[in-house]
Structure 1
Amino acid sequence: MAEGLPGGLPMEVPVPDLPPRVRIHEVGPRDGLQNEKGVIPTGVKAEFIRRLADAGLTTIEATSFVHPKWVPQLADAEQLFPMVSPIEGVTFPVLVPNERGLDRAIALGARRIAVFGSATESFASRNLNRTIDESLAMFEPVVARAKDDKIHVRGYLSMCFGDPWEGKVPIHQVVRVAKRLMDLGCDELSLGDTIGVATPGHVLTLLAELNEEGVPTSALGVHFHDTYGQALANTFAALEHGVTTVDSSAGGLGGCPYAKSATGNLATEDLVWMLHGLGIDTGVDLGRLTATSVWMAEQLGRPSPSRTVRALAGADSSHKEP
C-alpha cells in the first residue's frame, strides 16, 4: 500500500513521561457495528475480526450477548464467536447484560466479559430500563460468578462527561458510580464519553479524583467519541496521566443506539497514527489496519469517517498507474 509518507508512518518525536506502550481495546466489531441499519452477514463480521487480528490488534471486542430484540445487528453472537475464537495471542471480550447473557457467553468459552453501566439515571433508564441502583444490582451476580470462574471483567461506564438529557454530569457523581462498579469486582473500568463532549482538563480532573477515591490508573481505560473533534486531545491528556488502555473503533465506526447525539468512536487508525508519532508501541501494523477499514467500508457501502484511513487510502490511489 503506497502511503502519504515513506513507510506509511509519521516521524517519531517522543514526549517525555508518556507510557512506552498502549493496549488498544478494539471495539469495532461490537460497538462499531451494533448501530448499522442493514444486516451484516456473520461471515463478513468474522472476516473483519480476523483481519483486525492480522493487523496486530490483540484485544478485539467481538460481540454482545444482549437479547436480539434490543440489538438486532448482534443477534448472531452464538454463530460468530466460535468462528473467531481462539486466535493465538488475541483476546475476545464480549458484552453481557445479565446472568442469561453470561450463561450464553460461558457456554461458548468466553474468558473476558464486559458489563455496561451508566453514570446518569436518564441513560440507565433508556439503555437498561433500570435505575443506576437496579443496574448495579443486576451486574452484581454477573461479576461475582465471572470472578469465581476466573473470567476477566471489564466495566463500561457511559455518560461520564455529559448526558444528552441531563447535560453536564458532576464529576463526583461519576466517581461515585465508578467506585461502586469497581467494588463489585471489575478488573478494569472504561470511562465513556458517549456523546463526545469531554475536553482535556475535564479528563484529567476525573482521572485524578478517581485516583483519590482509590481507583488506580492501571485499572482505567478511556473511550472517547469524536463529536466535537476532541477525541485525540482527550486521549493525549489521559496518556499524560498514565492511562495505557484506550478504546477505539477501526475506521471510526459506531455510535450509540440509545443516544442519538453520539457520533462515531475514535478511529483506531487516527489513534495509531498519533501513538506511533509519539514513539508509543501498539503492536499494530497501520497499513494492514487501514486496508481492513477500507475493505469494511466497501462492505458497508460508504467511505470510512477516519481521517487517517482517507489520507492513506487516498495516497494509495494517487500512486496507482492510470
Structure 2
Amino acid sequence: MTPAGRIEAGDAPVPDAAPGNLVDRLAPASWRPYLRLARIDRPTGWWLLLLPCWWSTALAAGAGGSGFPSPATLALFWIGAVAMRGAGCTYNDIVDRDLDRQVERTRGRPIPAGQVTPRQAALFMAAQALVGLAVLLTFNRFAIGLGFASLAVVAAYPFMKRVTSWPQAVLGLAFSWGALMGWAAAFGALAWPAVALYAGAVFWTMGYDTIYAVQDFEDDGVAGIRSTARLFGAHTRLAVGILYGLAALGVAAALWGAGVGPAGLAGLAGFVAHLGWQLRTVRVDDPRGALRLFRANRDAGLLLFAGLAVDAALRAA
C-alpha cells in the first residue's frame, strides 16, 4: 500500500473531481478506486440527490405543522443519498465500462482504467445498496414501497444514452425521487404538492444535467452517446431556460399547494435567481465553465431548502 497522500502513475485523479479533494489527498491508495466508484471525490452528485429529499421533508413539516424538519430524518436521508448515489454510480460504471474507455473525461474511471474488476465493483455496489436499504427500512411501509419503486428507473438509466437523446429525462425521474420520499416519510401517503415538487425537481435535473453533458459534447459524438446537450446543440441555452422555467413552475405550485409563507417564497426566489444566473453564464463552448455551473446547483438547492425549513419553523411557532 502506498502512503495515503501519494498518487502514483495510473492513479491520477479523474478530470471532473474537485482539485485537492480528500480522496486524492488522504485516502490510502487501495481505497481510492472504490471511493471514486462511489464518487466520494465528487460530492455534488449526492447533494443533488439529497436536496429533493430535504425539500420534501421541509415542505411536509410546514404543511403538517411540526416545525423545523427533524434533524434525524434529514440525517437519514443524507446517509441514504450518499450510499445510493454511490451504488447507482458504481452500477452505471459497470454497465458503461466500454463506453467510458472512449470518452476523455471518463476513461480514467476505476473500471476502464483496470483498477477494479467488474466483479469487485458489483460486490462494492451491493454493500452500498445494503446501507441504503437499512436507511429505507426505518421509514413507514408506504415510504418503503415507494423507495423500492424507484429501482426500476435507476436500473434503466445507464442504457438510455444508447437509445434516446433524452437520457437526462430518465435521470431526472430517478434523481428527483426524494421529492416524493420526504412527504411519504412524514404522512405515509402522497398528495399533489409532493407530486408537483417532484415534477419541478425532474425539470431542474434535466436542466443541470444538460449543462453537465456539455463537457462531453465532442467525445459523445465519436462514441455514439446521446444526450440533450447534443440534441439541443446551439440552442442549449434556450432549452435549459425552458427546463429551468418548468422547474420553477413546478416548485412554485408545490409551495402554493402546501400553503408556504414568506420565508419559503424567499427561498424560491433565491432558487430561481440562481437558475437565472446560470442561464446568463452557460456557454456550449466552455466545458470547464459547464462543470462549474453544474456544481453550483448545490447552492441553488440549498437556498430553496433553507427557505422551506425556516418557513416550517415559523409556521409552528
Scaled by the length of structure 2, the TM-score of the pair is: 0.31
More helix by share: 2
Scaled by the length of structure 1, the TM-score of the pair is: 0.31
